[in-house]
Structure 1
Amino acid sequence: MPQTQTARLMDGAALARHVLDHTAAMSSAISHRTGKAPCLATVLVGEDPASATYVRMKRTRCETVGITSRHLPLPATTTTTELVDAITSLSEDPEVHGILLQHPVGGHIDERAAFEAIAPHKDVDGVTMRSFAAMSFGLPGFVSCTPGGILRLLDAYDVDLAGKRAVVVGRSAILGKPAGMLLLARDATVTYCHSRTRDLRSIIREADVLIAAAGRPHFIHGEDIKIGAVVVDAGYSPGNVGDVDFDTAKTRASLITPVPGGVGPMTIAMLLSQTAEAAALQMGLVPAELIPSQG
């Protein structure tokens, strides 16, 4: 068996454009039938430049697909109680269909309490415990956007997960853990790895499907990857650097996501797609009946 090959790129940017076109069509149908556009509320605590940039990007994307954006900026001194009250108010507002709390929110705030203030039917970012439970049990609800985008990518490239050894490097509540649950639901055999995993690299080498979500730049190298594995890099560090050393990994993987242009665009596309779906459901519409299937 050859020890090197050239991986195909999993083009998240192209797939995201397809998802956003579908979302724009759904938003248009909702507006035509109800006279109201879907609305996403974004909440930002403090003035972290990276977080502010992410929020601006998401709001700009909203405009391109016919979703109204409402932004709530809060000072860095905001307390947990004040943030929970603000999110509760948005949850109770019938004009708001989806809520995004940009994280991190600051070490003095109980982030989990803030997330749990989001009403489940408006949790279009898939961050609440109820959404995680729905993902885990295969019940209706909204998936965490990055893991959901990863599954859409794998589907688009015809990756059959049944019986495959999937390794998730990272265990965050909004990325690693839900990614593993979604893979398990597709009949993959899932192993979670983290900072205290023994023989981490030997486990990575057994992966048919590798999800890198450790948040450590160039943490995984080509020699760590099984020949022919599917590699999804969900990490991002300044300088457009992922968790995987792309140049060495692409000589061993069969499929690989680039950074940027892989998982990132799909995360935003999933957020807006789920916002449109949430709006349809809250307005008493059936999302699947609004426009033809994506196929």
Structure 2
Amino acid sequence: MAGPVLVIGATGTVGSRLVMELGQRGEKVRAATREPAAARRRSGDAVELVEFDFERPETFAPALAGVERVFLIARPGDEQADRVAAPLIDEMKRQGVRHVVNLTAMGVEMLEGMALKKVERYLEDSGIGFTHLRPNFFMQVFSGGPLLTDIRSTGAIHVPAAAARISYVDVRDIAAVAAAALSEAGHVGRAYTLTGGEALDHHEIARAISEAAGKTVRYVPISEDAARRAIEGAGLPPERAERLVGFYRLVRHGFCTPVSPDVHTVLGRPPISFARFAKDSAACWR
């Protein structure tokens, strides 16, 4: 019988949904988190919880004991994600892990110096079976965090995207693809770009949210300087602000516009639409 699947980042946006998906497939899940006691208080004993911290390599081997499959998310907001991921991948190899489903980002295959690209390459060179998942921006950025605060407090979406379109993807689709890759044959050695089924500009996004929430939400394009001020005003350091502004620079150049068939290919159904996401999330904007 197959051993447990180790889910790194199990309390995060994608990881928590993946734990549910794997459970529904009858998989035994080991949920990795920095604070298992706190997670246990929230979730009870439904899944096995294990302590794991990228900055504490001594947590790697106990978390990996008896594991052959791993879901890896290597700190996507960290420009040195490869620094902490490489020792973990080394330990996976020592422990006999056979397959890693690795969450990175759309387009990293074209960005050689990006930390997540380095993680991909290191995993490939390790000899462990891999599947790369490269998602676009999550639809859920509008139902949590700074953009939700923006919508609630101002009735508007303020981002430096100009008129660019983005093929936003629902986290539920990302988790479903990850679960399929971890529990079904045929995904080792593959890389999937995960997008929604359409690319929308932010005026269209605002209209969809307005319709679902029953209130007017506008899109207000802003400059890079205004975005930096807003990000730093929210308490993020200048280097983080610059990184986010840089992502939107790619957005304005059409980097996040393409629509991929990969969600449909893996799941056998169309991706969740933004209209469906908005309807399901409407309560948070009211």
Q: Normalization by structure 1: what TM-score?
A: 0.30
**Larger RCO (alpha carbons 8 Å, 6+ apart):** 1
Q: Normalization by structure 2: what TM-score?
A: 0.30
